[in-house]
Amino acid sequence: MSDPRDIRHVRYVGQSSAPRRRLLQHLNTAMLWLPDEKPWSIKSPRLRPLSAWIRQLYQDELRLPVMVITGWVETPSQARAAERARIFECLERRLPLLNVETQFLGPQVPLL
């Protein structure tokens, strides 16, 4: 997912066999209809940064993230490998990803 003002600025990398449904799940998790800046209902702390980013986009002129599909694969193992490769690409470009995986993959990315 990317900021709609600059779709090259990737903020979250994921995989799904149903992209539209997955995007709607992320939007639903962010609970855009709640007025609080930090929704109490997001139980998992690791999901809060992504939801906070989505909420911030929405507060800024009612913007929503853009989902950019970069490829299709045949098997779940290929999907996981493609997702991980894309995360590494984004980390190499020093993009501020909100993926939980960046906490342990980040140190594996060589400095340019």
Residue 60's pLDDT is what?
A: 87
- Residue listed under structure tokens 């929704």: 39
Residue 100's pLDDT is what?
A: 85
| pLDDT tens per residue, range 26-53 | 999 888 888 766 656 666 666 688 988 9
Q: Domain count of the chain?
A: 1
| pLDDT tens per residue, range 56-106 | 999 988 999 999 999 999 999 999 999 999 999 999 999 999 998 777 665
| Domain assignment of residue 89, given as a range | 2-108
| Residue of 46 and 14 predicted with greater confidence | 14
Residue 41's pLDDT is what?
A: 60
**How far lies 68's CA from each of 19, 22, 39, 44, 106, in Å?**
9, 12, 26, 25, 22
Residue 61's pLDDT is what?
A: 87
Whether 107 has a pLDDT exceeding 70, the answer reads: no
Q: How many CB atoms lie within 10 A of CB 44?
A: 9
